[in-house]
Amino acid sequence: MIEEFVRFDREVTMLTLRHYDPAGQIRTTVMAPIAHVRPGTLYHESWQPEPFP
């Protein structure tokens, strides 16, 4: 295992949802990215969608 400290200014969460579609097939849907900002150590805000470059 290799670990390294990486500075970043926001966190991004990618939620996935497993569900049945109208035809009864199992599907996996990836939701729009959710970004989080934590100035200091406390949670401050989140928003969706988070545009990626």
Question: Rounded mean pLDDT of 11-22?
Answer: 92
**pLDDT category, 1, cuts 50, 70, 90?**
low
Question: Rounded mean pLDDT of 32-50?
Answer: 84
In the numeric block, the tokens 């599907």 are attached to: 27
Residue 41, CA distances (Å) to 9, 10, 26, 37 in order:
12, 12, 39, 10
* pTM greater than 0.85: no
**What is the spatial distance between Cα 13 and Cα 42, in angstroms, rounded to a whole number?**
17
Residue 7 or residue 29, greater confidence: 29
- SS in 3 state form for 18-52? EEECCCCCEEEEECCCEEEECCCCCCCEEECCCCC
